[in-house]
A = this chain, B = another copy of it.
């Protein structure tokens, strides 16, 4: 009975550890992380290792023009499109073992479990890793999957320059041997796409839930504000004569917190950057630069949040006599995953006896690009202390195994026997 099939959690953990050792970064308290920035030598070594595992499993490996790697296990129906699982294996400079890697190596574990039990699915099963998901070296992030679905021209992607050393992406691809011959964007969309990923947030751990059923990806609105007032002596300038951009920045910060609280739901609001000039204890600042990060799973609600934020800025500028200039740093609409695939993940996890929670993803993932071309959904497993992009990133082995079991059963259901 395929419904009883389970992955080998130890084997999956061993692969995560082996890949994690490439570009290893060890922390002072025993943390074990990785630094494999996209298209560096470390990324090449990681790719080579994963491709060797793909070949060992007898998969047909293809590399496309932007370096995305797809390994296919044939199905019984020669005309059927593959059910794809995957993610990325590049990391940020202080990356962990799990972010991205879990979706790819979890996919290999699914394939190896099927092979071990001699199960042939109707649809082929493909395991993919996409180039430069992190965007830590080449902007934008999710570049490989974006090109894969036709969202960015291949030539433009190849011409992107690295933030660190200015290297051209196409040149770096060729240098590490991953400028493949398969056309990109892909000629054939997958039948479906599933991505297993660590949550990178604290919700599942906080609520003691094992499986996050990801309903979509939040829309993102990033704004940089430059607030210009009048530098003044902190002792000799009465309050009524001040034009204090630091006060306005503070009122905006508490104001966007209030927006998130009043809207509730998935709305979040963050002021992550704030810089005072001249930044002296006894001088009212002349200028403050700050950023506001607004996110919501609903585009209409995100626009509401933006409108309230904009009105707040205008009101504060008027009241305090400062000027506020605005620059949009990023704006992405929310993505909704495929309702039937989301239901499938939820029902499967519950059948396997796991607690579940429907939740949006607050971070971006390759899945949001794949959602443009095929039914897509994601599975989250808990992140200890919500940490990610941090060498202290960790997910308990039993949660890794649980997530891979759900992935296996979802793939079986979607690929058919």
Please report A residues at the B interface, Cβ cutoff 8 Å: 199-203, 206, 218, 220, 222, 224, 232-239, 241, 244, 246-247, 249-254, 257, 260-261, 268-276, 279-285, 291, 293, 295, 329, 361-363, 386, 388-389
Contact = CB atoms under 8 A, between A and B. Distances in A.
A235 B220 contact: yes
A386 B236 contact: yes
Contact of A386 (B206, B241, B251, B388): B241
A284 to B, nearest CB: 6
A274 B246 contact: yes
A247 B236 contact: no
**Identical subunits present:** 2
A235 B267 CA distance: 9
Contacts of A233: 200-201, 362-363, 386, 388-389
B270 A201 contact: no
Contacts of A224: 281
A202 B239 CA distance: 11
Given A247-B253, A247-B254, A251-B254, A238 B281 contact: no
18 contacts: A201-B233, A202-B232, A222-B282, A233-B363, A233-B389, A234-B293, A235-B293, A235-B295, A235-B362, A238-B268, A239-B260, A241-B386, A246-B274, A251-B254, A272-B280, A272-B281, A272-B284, A274-B274
Nearest to A260: B239
Most buried by B among A218, A232, A291: A232
B273 A276 contact: yes
Contacts of A273: 276, 279-281
Contact of A281 (B202, B218, B282, B293): B293
A361 B304 CA distance: 47
Contact of A270 (B234, B249, B295): B234
A9 to B, nearest CB: 25
Given A274-B274, A279-B272, A361 B236 contact: yes
Given A247-B257, A281-B291, A272 B234 contact: yes
A342 to B, nearest CB: 18
A287 to B, nearest CB: 12
B247 A272 contact: no
A220 B233 CA distance: 13
A328 to B, nearest CB: 12
Nearest to A239: B260
Contacts of A203: 236, 238, 241
Most B-side CB within 10 Å, residue of A200, A272, A273: A272
Nearest to A362: B235
Given A201-B237, A250-B250, A276 B281 contact: no
Contacts of A386: 232-233, 236-237, 241
B280 A206 contact: no
A363 B271 contact: no
A171 to B, nearest CB: 29
B202 A241 contact: yes
A91 to B, nearest CB: 15
Contacts of A261: 239
A251 B255 CA distance: 10
A179 B255 CA distance: 57
Contact of A200 (B236, B250, B260, B269): B236
Contacts of A200: 233, 236
Contacts of A362: 233-237
Given A273-B281, A276-B273, A282-B272, A235 B253 contact: no
B268 A276 contact: no
Contacts of A293: 234-235, 281-282
Contact of A279 (B257, B274, B280, B389): B274
Contacts of A361: 235-236
Contacts of A244: 270
A234 B295 contact: yes
